[in-house]
Chain A
Amino acid sequence: MHLRTDGDLHPVFCTIVPPHVLDHLSRSADARLADPARRTLAADGLRRDRRRATALAAVPTTPGVGAVPTKPHRTLYDCGNGTTLPGRKVRDEGDKPTSDASVNRAYAGLGATFELLLSAYGRSSIDGKGLPLIGSVHYGEEYNNAFFDGEQMVFGDGDGEIFLDFTVAVDVIAHELAHGLTQHTANLRYEGQSGALNESVSDVFGSLVKQYSLGQSAEQADWLIGAGLLAPRVSGDALRSMKAPGTAYDDDVLGKDPQPGSMADYIETEEDNGGVHLNSGIPNRAFHLLATALGGNSWERAGQIWFDVLTGGELTANADFAQFARLTVAAAGDRFGAADEREAVLKAWSEVGVPTKA
């Protein structure tokens, strides 16, 4: 779906939009987003009530061509353990749950990610225009992976020996979808430091979707990626720890979690596109340090700063950690002024050894 901005048809928000989303949208630089939000806010006098999440249930709805979708459009497919994508369609948006738990978990996980992007950041799907979300489950046989192929998410069942079904962790589902968000925004090159940033951004928003879904504050969150994904016989809690990179698992078969948590331990390697899943531990820990220093809900201030950088247009595709760090400092200042947030951002990067001065 695309916005129509021609003629007299104004884009309208055709479903229940929380007031803080409208407030956010109303401040958008994009008039196509801001104008209808401002109209809605003005009409309903919601500014003074914006903390009341229920207030907008009565917003007049005008289902129309060209509205920015405020509901996800999810379609799930079953690969039937084959490798042909997308597979057989098994659940479309609005359909009842199926008897397949993998399908239902993926459906819910995609919905949770859509919800965070819209509610916290006023963004309609990964492209900002309500892009339909596509996921395929039961890819391959005993397939120990999940990935984003540029157009859709793909989930394996795991072999049951090391990994369980990749749909069991909502942060993993959100991680994959966040690759789509990155692709539609900064499009960070999947190699070296920009690749590690691409991975880290997916871990950050993966964890934020989990925290938002569970209503957890920074202090309450586990800050793990893929908790519940390792088979019972594996010695480990998860695949990665944002709080303490390098401590997620230590197992006879898997080995020890190799992630560094600061630049002093940065890994130079040819493998894994230059260690994109390894060095992501460094910006991951910076985000954790910021979020816990600020306290409260991580998606509100820390997440907003990261989102602003990812979507702001200044982050280059081949950005290194230092460029990303400098932009987070600037974003914190732009959004919150010369306040605690900016200081906390500077401190977080300093602790992981990433410079914030050019």
Chain B
Amino acid sequence: MSARAAPDRQDPMRIQVSRTGGFAGIARRHEVDTGGRADAAEWQALAEEALRSARDTPPTGVPDGFRYAITVGDRTVYCADPDLTGAQRTLISRVLKEGA
């Protein structure tokens, strides 16, 4: 657990994922609002896990690799393929798939 206080699990949480770069260079941006979702607690736990040990500045990444910015509440962290944690990978794919 980070030094930062854990968000209150009852509060709605906005989770944004922005993906740039990649071979095609096509950006995608999606977000999930956990408010009113039955699986809100699960999303919040995943988001907290994804933020843990993440960087506050964008990594260099690799040629053609995707770059990601993950924003949870008021904090934005950065990561890049292929060096993602399992939680980051899961969160990114779920937000980009389910986000509106």
Contacts and interface: CB of A to CB of B under 8 A. Distances in A.
A278 B22 CA distance: 11
A176 interface: yes
Instruction: Report which residue of B26, B60, B62 has the largest number of chain A beta carbons within 10 angstroms of its beta carbon.
Output: B26
A288 interface: no
B63 A278 contact: no
Interface string A139-160: 0010011111110001000000
A124 interface: no
Nearest to B96: A144
A277 B21 contact: yes
30 contacts: A83-B84, A83-B89, A144-B22, A144-B24, A145-B22, A145-B64, A145-B65, A145-B66, A146-B23, A147-B23, A147-B64, A147-B65, A147-B81, A147-B82, A148-B64, A149-B82, A154-B82, A166-B23, A176-B64, A179-B63, A183-B63, A190-B61, A198-B63, A271-B21, A273-B67, A276-B25, A277-B23, A277-B24, A277-B25, A278-B25
A202 interface: yes
- On chain A, which size bracket covers the interface? 20 to 34
Contact of B27 (A166, A175, A190, A271): A271
Interface in B1-38: 20-27
Contacts of A144: 22, 24
Interface of A: 83, 85, 141, 144-150, 154, 163, 166, 172, 175-176, 179, 183, 190, 198-199, 202, 226, 239, 254-255, 271-273, 275-278
B82 A85 contact: yes
Given A145-B81, A147-B81, A154-B82, A190 B60 contact: yes
A150 B25 contact: no
A183 B62 CA distance: 11
Nearest to B28: A144
Contacts of B24: 144-145, 163, 226, 239, 277
B23 A172 contact: yes
Contacts of B26: 254-255
A144 B96 CA distance: 12
- On chain B, which size bracket covers the interface? 20 to 34
Contacts of A147: 22-23, 62-66, 81-82
Closest 6 A/B residue pairs (Cβ): A277-B25, A147-B64, A179-B63, A147-B65, A271-B20, A145-B22
B82 to A, nearest CB: 6
A145 B23 contact: yes
Given A271-B20, A273-B67, A149 B27 contact: no
B87 to A, nearest CB: 13
Contacts of A277: 21-25
Nearest to B64: A147
A238 to B, nearest CB: 10
A239 B22 CA distance: 11
B69 to A, nearest CB: 10
A293 to B, nearest CB: 27
Contacts of B62: 147-150
A175 to B, nearest CB: 7
Nearest to A145: B22
Contacts of A175: 23, 64
Contacts of B67: 272-273
Contacts of B82: 83, 85, 147, 149, 154
Contacts of B22: 144-145, 147, 277
Contacts of B60: 190
A272 B64 contact: no
Nearest to B27: A271
A190 B63 contact: yes
Contacts of A272: 20-21, 25, 27, 67
Nearest to B21: A272
Contacts of B93: 141
Contacts of A148: 62-64
